[in-house]
Amino acid sequence: DTGVSQDPRHKITKRGQNVTFRCDPISEHNRLYWYRQTLGQGPEFLTYFQNEAQLEKSRLLSDRFSAERPKGSFSTLEIQRTEQGDSAMYLCASSSFRGTGDEQYFGPGTRLTVT
């Protein structure tokens, strides 16, 4: 297994454009998370999937953000009408629930720059 992968690694877009990021979790993991990380801060939770069901969304996830996980495998995060404040590192993580202590495995992130 090659770990969590994310694509693209870097994205530069103009304000107002739509962008989509992809995350491929570790294959046997049923939980998938999206986080946003800005410079000098820790990751902030955006949303969580268990299999294909989106079970929790942060208030940070405005109407312009949508995430999907069809068939409980890879996930996509789309940002519509990007704004400069959306510039950040978007992290994906996956885990396999084992009762307690949800250890998450992180991908390398997608760095978004909105100009």
Partner 1 sequence: GNSVTQMEGPVTLSEEAFLTINCTYTATGYPSLFWYVQYPGEGLQLLLKATKADDKGSNKGFEATYRKETTSFHLEKGSVQVSDSAVYFCALSDPTGGFKTIFGAGTRLFVKA
Take residue 23 and report the two structure tokens written for it: 């995350």
For residue 56, state whether it binds partner 1 (rule: CB under 8 A): yes
Count other Cβ atoms within 10 Å, centred on residue 42: 7
Applying CB under 8 A, the site for partner 1 has a residue count of 26
7 lines the binding site for partner 1 (CB under 8 A): no
Decide: is 108 part of the binding site for partner 1 (CB under 8 A).
Answer: yes
- Site track for partner 1 across 59-88, x = CB under 8 A: ------------------------------
Closest C-alpha to 1, from 94, 77, 64, 88: 94
Alpha carbons 82 and 109: distance in angstroms, whole number: 18
Query: From the list 61, 77, 91, 112, which residue makes contact with partner 1 (rule: CB under 8 A)?
Result: 91
- Rounded Cα distance between 58 and 42, Å, is 15
User: Does 33 sit near partner 1 (CB under 8 A)?
Assistant: yes
d(CA 95, CA 40): 25
Residues that bind partner 1 (CB under 8 A): 4, 31, 33, 40-45, 48, 50, 55-56, 58, 91, 93, 100-109
